Amino acid sequence: MIIGTAGHIDHGKTALVQALTGIDTDRLKEEKARGITIELGFAYLATRPDGPVIGFVDVPGHERFVHTMLAGAGGIDAALLVVAADDGVKPQTLEHLAILDLLGIARGLVVLSKADLADAPRRVAVTGEIRAALAGSGLGAAPILPVSVRSGEGMPALREALEGLAAETGARAAGGAFRLAVDRCFTLAGAGTIVTGTVLSGAVATGQAVVVSPRGLPVRVRSIHAQNRPAERGLAGQRCALNLTGEGIGRDAIARGDMVLDPVLHAPTDRIDARLRLLASAPKPVGTWFPARLHHASAEVGARLVPLGEAVQQGGQGLVQIVLDRPIAAAVGDRFVLRDVSAQHTIGGGRFLDLRAPARRRQGPERLAQLEALAAPSPGEALARLLATPPGLVELTGFARDHALSEGEAAALAAAEEPVILEAGGLRHALSHPGWEGLARDLAATLARFHEETPDQQGLGRERLRLLLTPRLPGPAFLAALTRLAREGALVLEGAFVRLPGHAVRLDPADEALFARILPRLGGAARFRPPRVRDLAGDLEVPETEVRRLLKACARLGRVDQIAHDHFFDRRTTAEMAAIARDVAAQAPDGVFTAAAFRDRMDNGRKVAIQILDFFDRQGVTLRRGDLRRMNPHRADLFSLSEGPVSGGPASGRDASPVGRPDFKSGWGSEAVPGGFDSHSLPPSPDAA
């Protein structure tokens, strides 16, 4: 169990911890000289020789160091609120009590310290003040124990109460993925870099690979001290010291506010939707772009708040979006506290609901309904509510990561809900069965309308179809859905087009006969450089306009592709050329290749090779920057002869595939980290290529 002290300056918190544990937590020279606590202090009390160890986090009481108090308050199990009998309830008593309430700390003890300095009437009066201050808070029913460190009065009763509290607390659930909030980092001769903090969830073992977030620094755990004892594992609810090793690791590489965590959890965020409770003592309501200082775990960062609805009034609650000055590592359900920008007043706090908050359409009815679903008390209930809330789509990989779930917990949640799961690009999107059935019906109805309105068209373009449907699935998930429906016989995939099984466009007999004469001339040894329309017309002695009309109709049917003006290729040849481009990219450094490399593999002229690559650029199969190209994993299967999705590409984001956007000619495009930041993969310089 971890107990955090709280209370006004000079009310005896540090002396009380020393009397209980024998450890003076004031370790700094300035603390000794001034007689006040400035930094966090730590001490431990063994309840029995072989029993559990109680950890104490001793915090400063001075108003100037409330930010330090907040760094130590995150992750505690219970509070030890200290009020001096001779002084009574003071400003920092009330502020610390408000902070404990905002952090959801509802268990603890109240110590009436310096009891030897107060007579019976004074004790009764101060006890009344304390009860009044506790009223309405999570500690409203906490026992108040008179204690004197100097005379020893009440110390046995306090120890007994602490042991009872520890027995009631028990161990935190060992579930979840590992997270430790760093509150100290230092070096020891012969050991190296040490970080200390509270394990918020999961467990860590010696030798385990972890990441320091938000920097993303990979490290390994060399050794562990848990609750001030050497250990092979550190568990949720324990204070741990981790001896870390790794490239670039050092005292300056890690700081208070960082999080040491399981690598799968590393996805920092700087935009969070949350439920905020504003204290009645706040100076003004929270309106748009309200400035504040946000405290989460051991981190402190500047923030701006945007109400998702009306302004949040003093003493009220509401949904807000928090935009941070820099990213932090967090999890859904984590508590936070807000202070004003002058760092003089605590103004409110609350709970994180969504770490991947949208910058647009953040106040729509559908979005607010999703936030209400995410406010559920457990991840399982949140998942069930999200699947029942439009659009009824949940990306399970990101959901598990943002809720800090272990792999086993994530699998158990998915199994319990039994949704329809679409796996693509390393991600798993879940739809409720009603949502999946609705999507299938909407898709069939959309295709039926298209066939009725344009009976001469082969089918509807895959990307255009995706944008017409609700829910709008991410590109890879949509391809997985189409593949599943195609296997079930509900639709037919033909390259980039989708049609219903009963739909077919056929040429009339005369056109079929003419195409039968044209097709051999598009194949064979010259298939990578077939004759143009005028050459075909002259060779076949057919008007050029007729040849052009027929080839354009065949292009709509997917039989041929118009690579350049009046230059048509057999669709099978297009698929072969796309496969060659993929192979050239696979053999090129970093997957980036030049037109010359493609031309050499095609054994073709430069002009035609450039036209072919320009066609692939327009279709989104390749992405071009300057003279360099790379394959677009989102569209690499566009001209594949198989209908299944191409594997091996990076995970796509939660947004639409970039195909069809007008920005391909100016860059590589943007591939979104699932539920996170955009990462731009820049090509090597031309010299390096």
Query: Looking up tokens 């984590």, which residue turns up?
Result: 334
**203 plus 313 within the same structural domain:** no
Q: Quick one: pLDDT at residue 438?
A: 93
661 band by pLDDT with thresholds 50, 70 and 90: very low
Answer whether 413's CB lies under 8 Å from 382's CB. Answer: no
Question: Residue type at 44?
Answer: Y
Instruction: Give the range of the structural domain holding residue 114, as residue numbers without chain letter.
Output: 2-169
pLDDT tens column, 354-366 = 999 999 889 999 9
Provide the 10 A C-beta neighbour count for residue 149. Answer: 21
> DSSP H helical segments within 564-605, as ranges?
571-587, 595-602
Based on the domain organization, do 276 and 232 belong to the same domain?
no
Identify whether 430 is part of a domain: no
**One domain for residues 145 and 275:** no
* Mean pLDDT for the stretch of residues 227-232: 87
pLDDT computed for residue 227 by the predictor: 82
- At residue 12, the pLDDT reads 80
Indicate the pLDDT class of residue 76, thresholds 50, 70 and 90: confident
Q: Is the pLDDT of residue 259 over 80?
A: yes
Considering the domain architecture, whether residues 256 and 277 belong to the same structural domain is answered as no
> How would you class 680 by CB atoms within 10 Å of its CB: exposed for 0-12, middle for 13-18, buried for 19 or more?
exposed
Q: Tell me 645's DSSP state.
A: P
Residue 220, phi-psi category: left (phi > 0), alpha (psi -120 to 50), beta (remainder): beta
Residue 169: pLDDT band by 50, 70, 90 thresholds? low
Higher pLDDT, 127 or 41: 127
pLDDT at 67: 65
Q: Name the average pLDDT for the chain.
A: 85
Residue scoring higher pLDDT (100 or 654)? 100
Does some domain include residue 284? yes
Label residue 506 exposed, middle or buried (CB < 10 Å: 0-12, 13-18, 19+): exposed
Confidence of residue 14 (pLDDT cuts 50, 70, 90): confident
- Give the end of a domain, one of 151, 169, 187: 169
- Considering the domain architecture, whether residues 133 and 6 belong to the same structural domain is answered as yes
- In order of 449, 632, 655, 674, the CA distances from 473 in angstroms are 21, 18, 8, 13
Among the candidates 232, 265, 298, a domain finishes at 265
Report the C-alpha gap between 595 and 588 in whole angstroms.
Answer: 12
Mind spelling out the 3-state secondary structure of 66-127? HHHHHHHHCCCCEEEEEEECCCCCCHHHHHHHHHHHHCCCCCEEEEEECHHHCCHHHHHHHH
CATH number for the domain harbouring residue 586: 1.10.10.10
Arithmetic mean of pLDDT, 619-627: 91
Kindly tell me if the per-residue pLDDT of 217 is higher than 60: yes
State percent of the chain over pLDDT 90: 56
Domain CATH code at residue 339: 2.40.30.10
Residue 530 falls inside a structural domain? no
Peptide bond into 214 cis (omega under 30): yes
What is the pTM (predicted TM-score) of this model? 0.73
| Backbone dihedral angles phi then psi of residue 237, each to the nearest 5 degrees | 90, -5
pLDDT tens digits along 427-457: 899 999 999 999 999 999 999 999 988 877 7
E-strand spans in 457-614? 460-461, 492-494, 497-499, 560-564, 567-570, 593-594
Quote the pLDDT of residue 5.
Answer: 85
Give dist(CA 399, CA 654) in Å, integer. 12
Model confidence at 2: pLDDT above 60 = yes
Is 666 found in the same domain as 592?
Answer: yes
Which residues are CB-contacts of 407 (< 8 A; sequence separation ≥ 6)? 264, 400
Collapsing DSSP states into helix, strand and coil, what is residue 347? Answer: strand
Q: Do 24 and 153 reside in the same domain of the chain?
A: yes
Same domain, residue pair 153 and 18: yes
Residue 31 falls inside a structural domain = yes
Indicate whether 174 pLDDT > 80: no
Q: Are residues 152 and 22 in the same domain?
A: yes
Count how many residues are written for the chain: 689
Span 333-377, pLDDT tens digits: 999 999 999 877 899 999 999 999 999 889 999 999 999 999 999
Res. 62 pLDDT band, cuts 50 70 90: low
Closest residue by Cα to residue 380 from 400, 407, 366: 400
Question: Do 187 and 313 lie in a common domain?
Answer: no
* Beta strands per DSSP E along 462-544: 492-494, 497-499
Is 685 inside any structural domain? no
HSE-CB for 208 with a 13 A CA cutoff: 21
Torsion of CA 467, 471, 477, 481, to 10 degrees: -90
Q: Of the ranges 166-175, 307-316, 468-477, 607-616, which one carries the lowest mean pLDDT score?
A: 166-175
Q: Is the pLDDT of residue 273 over 70?
A: yes
Number of independent structural domains in the chain: 4
User: Residue 513, class by beta-carbon neighbours within 10 Å (0-12 exposed, 13-18 middle, 19+ buried)?
Assistant: exposed
Q: Is the pLDDT of residue 9 over 50?
A: yes
pLDDT at 546: 94
User: What are 527-579's pLDDT values in tens digits?
Assistant: 999 999 999 999 999 999 999 999 998 887 788 999 999 999 999 999 999 99
Residue 27, phi then psi, degrees to nearest 5: -105, -15
Beta bridge partners of 560: 570
pLDDT at site 304: 97
Please tell me the predicted confidence (pLDDT) of residue 82: 92
**Of the candidates 225, 250, 265, which is a domain's last residue?**
265
| Nearest one of 100, 94, 83 to 13, comparing CA atoms | 83
Q: What is the pLDDT of residue 677?
A: 27
| pLDDT tens-place string over residues 458-513 | 789 999 999 999 888 988 899 999 999 999 999 999 878 899 998 877 788 899 99
Same domain, 109 and 48: yes
Q: pLDDT value at position 400? A: 95
Query: Which of the two residues, 279 and 35, has the higher pLDDT score?
Result: 279
Residue 659 has a pLDDT of 30
- The pLDDT score that the predictor gives to residue 326 is 96
Structure tokens belonging to residue 582:
């993929």
- Do 23 and 152 reside in the same domain of the chain? yes
Asked if residue 38 is part of any domain, the answer here is yes
| Confidence bin at 165 (pLDDT 50/70/90) | confident
Residue 541 lies in a domain: no
The pLDDT of residue 671 is above 60: no
Q: Is residue 438 part of a domain?
A: no
At residue 689, the pLDDT reads 33
Residue 455: predicted pLDDT: 79
